[in-house]
Chain A
């Protein structure tokens, strides 16, 4: 009887995962969907703790289990609640890495059981002490989990700025070689002596970790969302391997569902940037500055504008389009931005926001930030709509965005971002660009927009500049 209740609990959990994901893809139902999936998860966890039976025996070590869950609960809750909205993308990556590590650890422990059983029968090969399918689930879980863990940690480090983009010539060949070694290690372990199978197994796990590192390392920071989404689906598959291992339907459905949905989501994200997944993974943005070098005479042609002038121009404009980017997010300037918008509207200026799908560090990043500052939903224009309205706009105020307004994406085939749809701010009557410095954006390429005669630069931290602007406009 308890076993039936357990199975039914898993069934309910699987259904909540499906419904949750379904509801998450519609704005109106998204939050409820998340809660439904979470309650299904809680049910599955408690049912496992109290009802799971292994060869007629209940699970033990309750003290250990509950203290581990307690630690995870408190720490996870604190991190998730305390972190700033701008750090959300890297947090998703961090939690994804935790899931990957969890899957890998499960596989390691399960391998250890089999290995110890094998020790009793010397001079046999490892394949004779383990079912092939069982081994496949263990090794796949270990490898995929490790890659996902190491990759997510690198992505996390890159997004919070502690790891720089590094790539070298022929890196893809090296990566491929490591991947081949991982697979070879997995096969070698299976056919090695049962008494010594642990050494090749752990080398394989180590190589998988290394692969995770070198796989993500050369990919530019701007592409991290895509990579995180991909690693997310990897972890899903690793979880599904655990499902095979324990004949557990909830793990299997949850894992595969995320694996499939995550893969599609990855492709959708690439599409939003008008690039293919292969292009993201192999044609790496970061590190190499393949864009044509600008000569210094052009460099000096940038024009600066004072805060007072900028305030004047905007206060007397009919229509202002604000183009937010990562600079706005790091400066936490969304509230100041909303304040400026309200002030301008009071003065009779029409203010809209142009949201590039990949502005910031994640698709939807800007929507989340501006929503936090209570910016009206109707004021946020998607890219196509914004591009239609830009020619009728007097002033485009670019706040810490760079690559998403780079005209090179349209007219310079040699540019690494060529083909990515961009916001055509140069069509506006005037462009004011707020940046902290002339440093290139995440893609590491120059932006010819800054040298456009229509463009004026307004250097400084986005929040500080916005507050100064607000002060000046109030005086007008």
Chain B
């Protein structure tokens, strides 16, 4: 329990970020029209691809004889990139269609 307490105290700024981001996340998309639900979900999907940063760190600090870290890290970077690239490209493709859809004057 003390270690946990210590962890919280050392990471107080992180705890603040978490709480503020929860409110911000809810606030930001509060009034999204239902038409945009799918692109928004897809866009959010791409953003959580930020997990790739962790994968890069794992990969980058793996010693050359640590095969588990190398292989899993490699796989993680590939999957993370898929998430980021695929997510943004698919969202863009969806929204490309919405662009044409603007009401004509």
Chain A interface (Cβ < 8 Å from any Cβ of B): 13, 17-18, 20-22, 24-28, 30-31, 33-35, 37-38, 41, 44-45, 48-49, 52, 54, 57-62, 64-65, 68-69, 71-73, 75-77, 79-81, 83, 85, 88-89, 91-92, 94-96, 98-99, 101-103, 105-106, 108-110, 112-113, 131-134, 136, 225, 228-229, 232-233, 235-236, 238-240, 242-265, 268-269, 272, 357, 362-365, 367-368, 371-372, 374, 376-378, 382
> Which of A95, A132, A258, A265 sits near B86, CB closer than 8 Å?
A95
Docked-complex contact A13 and B50, CB < 8 angstroms: yes
> Which of B4, B17, B31, B80 sits near A249, CB closer than 8 Å?
B17
Docked-complex contact B36 and A21, CB < 8 angstroms: no
Q: Which residues from chain A contact B84 at a C-beta distance below 8 Å?
A: 41, 45, 72, 76
Q: Measured between alpha carbons, how far is A75 from B75 in the docked complex, in Å? A: 13
Docked-complex contact A96 and B39, CB < 8 angstroms: no
Q: Which residues from chain A contact B68 at a C-beta distance below 8 Å?
A: 109, 112
* Closest chain B residue to A239, Cβ basis: B51
Q: Which residues from chain B contact A365 at a C-beta distance below 8 Å?
A: 38
Interface digits, B6-29 against A, CB 8 Å rule (1 contact, 0 not)? 111001001001100111111011
Interface digits, B78-92 against A, CB 8 Å rule (1 contact, 0 not)? 111111111111111
Docked-complex contact B11 and A103, CB < 8 angstroms: no
Give min CB distance, A59 to chain B, whole Å: 3
Interface digits, B28-64 against A, CB 8 Å rule (1 contact, 0 not)? 1111111111111111111111111111111111101
Q: Which residues from chain B contact A382 at a C-beta distance below 8 Å?
A: 34
> Which of A44, A54, A134 sits near B50, CB closer than 8 Å?
A44
> Which of A60, A88, A91, A261 sits near B61, CB closer than 8 Å?
A60
Docked-complex contact B25 and A41, CB < 8 angstroms: no
Q: 7 A–B contact pairs at CB < 8 A?
A: A24-B29, A52-B60, A71-B78, A95-B86, A95-B87, A246-B53, A261-B44
Docked-complex contact A88 and B94, CB < 8 angstroms: yes
Give min CB distance, A349 to chain B, whole Å: 20
Docked-complex contact B43 and A105, CB < 8 angstroms: no
Q: Measured between alpha carbons, how far is A247 from B41 in the docked complex, in Å? A: 26
Docked-complex contact B53 and A250, CB < 8 angstroms: yes
Docked-complex contact A236 and B60, CB < 8 angstroms: no
Q: Which residues from chain A contact B52 at a C-beta distance below 8 Å?
A: 45, 102
> Which of B38, B41, B101 sits near A377, CB closer than 8 Å?
B101
Docked-complex contact A68 and B59, CB < 8 angstroms: yes
> Which of B22, B53, B102, B104 sits near A248, CB closer than 8 Å?
B53
Docked-complex contact A37 and B37, CB < 8 angstroms: no
* Besides the known contacts A34-B43, A99-B51, A363-B38, 13 further A-B residue pairs in the complex with CB atoms under 8 A apart: A18-B24, A54-B60, A61-B59, A76-B85, A83-B90, A89-B38, A95-B49, A105-B76, A235-B48, A256-B17, A263-B26, A367-B35, A377-B104
* Closest chain A residue to B103, Cβ basis: A377
Docked-complex contact A37 and B47, CB < 8 angstroms: yes
Q: Which residues from chain B contact A71 at a C-beta distance below 8 Å?
A: 78, 81
Q: Which residues from chain A contact B75 at a C-beta distance below 8 Å?
A: 68, 105
Give min CB distance, A270 to chain B, whole Å: 11
Q: Measured between alpha carbons, how far is A305 from B43 in the docked complex, in Å? A: 43
Q: Which residues from chain A contact B28 at a C-beta distance below 8 Å?
A: 18, 21-22, 25, 257, 261
* Closest chain A residue to B9, Cβ basis: A133
Docked-complex contact B54 and A260, CB < 8 angstroms: no
* Closest chain B residue to A57, Cβ basis: B61
Question: Which 7 residue pairs spanning A and B have beta carbons closest together?
Answer: A72-B81, A59-B60, A133-B7, A260-B25, A76-B85, A68-B77, A254-B50
Docked-complex contact B3 and A41, CB < 8 angstroms: no
> Which residue, of B49, B73, B89, has the highest number of chain A Cβ atoms within 10 A?
B49
Q: Measured between alpha carbons, how far is A211 from B105 in the docked complex, in Å? A: 52
Give min CB distance, A454 to chain B, whole Å: 29
Q: Which residues from chain B contact A378 at a C-beta distance below 8 Å?
A: 103-104
Give min CB distance, A253 to chain B, whole Å: 6
Given A34-B88, A239-B50, also A54-B78 (CB < 8 A): no
Docked-complex contact B18 and A99, CB < 8 angstroms: no
Docked-complex contact A133 and B40, CB < 8 angstroms: no
Q: Measured between alpha carbons, how far is A90 from B74 in the docked complex, in Å? A: 25
Q: Which residues from chain B contact A233 at a C-beta distance below 8 Å?
A: 44
> Which of B29, B50, B77, B78 sits near A261, CB closer than 8 Å?
B29
Docked-complex contact B47 and A17, CB < 8 angstroms: yes
